[in-house]
Amino acid sequence: MPPRTFKVNGRPVTVDIEDDVRLLWVLRDVLGITGPKYGCGINVCKACTSHINGRAFNPCSVPVSAIQPTDEVTTIEGLPDTVGADLHPMQEAWIDRDVPQCGYCQPGQIMAAVDLVKKVEADGGSITDDDIDEIRNMCACGTYSRIREAIKQGAENM
């Protein structure tokens, strides 16, 4: 298990850990980056959704050995930096709509929303209810209707 080096939120990190430890635990338990949340550990609740090289993924299901030295991981903490602002437009929309209740799933919801809007716009479209219907991020407080509004609002400002 050689030390692994990659970038998280713009900063190079080096970790000395067994190859098969999933990235979520490397972020949380080793690096102390706690924005990505544990909700299931099997890639079904999406609470840990983060970005790798600008695209969404779930670090609970990626062994650290699969992360390359050139890979750039972005967690919710690093999202504002990707647009060079204090807050990403999607976070602004989330605040404006007062989306969170307990808030636990919201970092993952926001990271998934940003990715979805980018994907839809890359395909030349704009975000629709049907697109939002396919987001898999689970919320047990039931904030879905505000998330739906916030995604549309955030997309306009992205």
Partner 1 sequence: MPAKHRSAPRPSRRPADRTRPTVAGMERRRFLGYLIAAPTLAVGVKLTADSVLEANALPSPAPEVSEVYDLSDLLLDSTRATANLITVVVNEDGTVSFSIPRAESGQGITTTAAVLIAEEMGIDVSDVNVTLADARPELLFNQQTQGSASVISIYTPVRVAAALARGQLVEAAATILGDEAENLRTTGGRVLSTAGSSVPFAELATAAANSVTREAITELKPVDDFTVIGTDTRRDDVRAAVTGSKKYTMDLDVPDALPTMIARPPTIKGTVESVNNLDQVRTMPGVTDVVEISTDAEPGRGTTSSAVAVRARTFGQCIDAVNALDITWGGGNVDDESDETILEQLRAADAPANLPSPTPLDEVGGVVPLATDALGAVGPVEALEQEFVFYWRSNAAMEPNVAIADVRDGEAEVWTPSQIPIVTQSQLAQVLGMTPAQVTVHVPRGGGAFGRRLFSDAALDAARVSQEIGKPVRLMWHRADECRAGRVHPMCISRVKATYSPGLGEVVSFEQRQTSVATDYTESFGDMITSQAAKLPFANELTLSQTVFLLTASVPYDLGAIVFGYNEIFDFDRFATGSVRNLNNQDFRPAQELMVDQLAERLGKDPMDFRINRVEDERAKAVLEAVRDEGDWGRDLPEGVAQGVVVHNEYKGSVAVLAEVDTRPATAEREIRGATTGPRVRKVTVAVDVGLAINPLGLKAQMEGGVMTGISHVFTGSLHLRDGNFLEGSWDDYRYTRHWNAPPEIDVIVMPPSGDRPGGAGELAVGAATAAVACAYARAVGEMPTSFPIGHTKDVPFEVKKFVPPLPPSPTDGLTAYPTPSAAGPAFNPAS
Interface pattern 106-135 for partner 1 (x via CB under 8 A): xx--x-x----------------x--xxxx
Nearest distance from C-beta of residue 110 to partner 1, angstroms: 6
User: Site for partner 1 (CB under 8 A): which residue of 6, 37, 74, 155?
Assistant: 37
Q: How many residues bind partner 1 (CB under 8 A)?
A: 79
Nearest distance from C-beta of residue 114 to partner 1, angstroms: 12
Query: Residue 74 belongs to what H/E stretch?
Result: strand 72-74
Nearest distance from C-beta of residue 14 to partner 1, angstroms: 16
Nearest distance from C-beta of residue 12 to partner 1, angstroms: 20
User: Site for partner 1 (CB under 8 A): which residue of 5, 118, 149, 158?
Assistant: 149
CA-to-CA distance for 86 and 95, rounded, in angstroms? 13
CA-to-CA distance for 83 and 149, rounded, in angstroms? 21
Q: What angle do CA 57, 59, 60 make, to 5 degrees?
A: 125
Burial class (CB in 10 A: 0-12, 13-18, 19+), 38: middle
Establish if 42 lies at the interface with partner 1 (CB under 8 A).
Answer: yes
Which of positions 46-105 make contact with partner 1 (CB under 8 A)?
46-47, 52, 55-63, 66, 75-77, 80, 87, 91, 94-105
Nearest distance from C-beta of residue 49 to partner 1, angstroms: 8
133, 94 Cβ separation under 8 angstroms: no
Please say which residue, 95 or 126, places its beta carbon nearer to partner 1: 95
DSSP 5-57: EEEETTEEEEE---TTSBHHHIIIIIS---SSPPS-SSSSS-TT-EEETTEEE
